[in-house]
Amino acid sequence: MADFSVRSAIRALSPGEVEQRLAAHRLYLQTERRQGRRANFASTDLSGLDFSGLDLRRIKMDRALLRGADFTRAQLERANMIGANMLHARLDGADLSGARLSGANLVSASLENARLAQADMEFALMAKAVLRGACLHAADMSGVLLDEAVLTRADLSAANLRGAGFCEARLDETDLRDARLGGASWSGPGSAVPICGARIYVWQNSMARTFPMPTCLVP
């Protein structure tokens, strides 16, 4: 298990350095790793930068400072974003299938219609995050904090949600089939109330025509 308490000094990069690393990463992907180099942005400050629509598969951004960064519709499959600070980041429509997000700070981040199938997200902070329509099928979300998060019409089927916190989360029409919910908290520590300010609706085939399920692309 990664040690999220370990913090390296955050390094600043010039715009030229960022673009140079991204160009090498594009070549790395285009040539199937024969040329170029996998971009390593670990422990760097990339706050507020625009990565929207970019192919960032397998990129290293562990413990990076990504506050307010824009990853809208970016390809982030199998990216390493362990312990990254993505406060207020935009990841709407992004593909993070199989990504490593353990211990990441996604408080107030927007992940509408994002794909996070089989992502490793244990102990991530996702309070007030917007995950409307997101696909989190079979994701490891053990210990994740989702207080006041919006999970309307999200797919959490077969997800590991043991010990997760859902106080005042919105779970309207959320798919929780086969999810593991042991030890999950719905109303704060010690409460016996099963749901706090939320309504769980498990998808049925008869409703699929009215509210289509998000497409899950399993890596």
- For residue range 100-123, list pLDDT tens digits in order: 999 999 999 999 999 999 999 999
Spans of all domains in the chain: 38-219
Q: What is the largest CA-CA distance in the chain?
A: 57
**Residue with the two structure tokens 């974003």:** 81
User: What CATH code is assigned to 38-219?
Assistant: 2.160.20.80
d(CA 151, CA 29): 33
Q: Per-residue pLDDT for 168 more than 80?
A: yes
Percent helix, percent strand, percent coil in the chain, to nearest 5: 10, 15, 75
Q: Per-residue pLDDT for 200 more than 90?
A: no
* pLDDT bucket at 202, cuts 50 / 70 / 90: very low
- The amino acid that residue 186 corresponds to is W
C-beta separation of 81 from 99 below 8 A: yes
pLDDT at 7: 60
- For residue range 72-102, list pLDDT tens digits in order: 999 999 999 999 999 999 999 999 999 999 9
pTM for the structure as a whole: 0.84
Dihedral sign of CA atoms 184, 188, 191, 194 in order? negative
pLDDT at 132: 98
Pairing of strands 44-45, 11-12: parallel
Range from 3-17, 56-70, 119-133 carrying the lowest mean pLDDT: 3-17
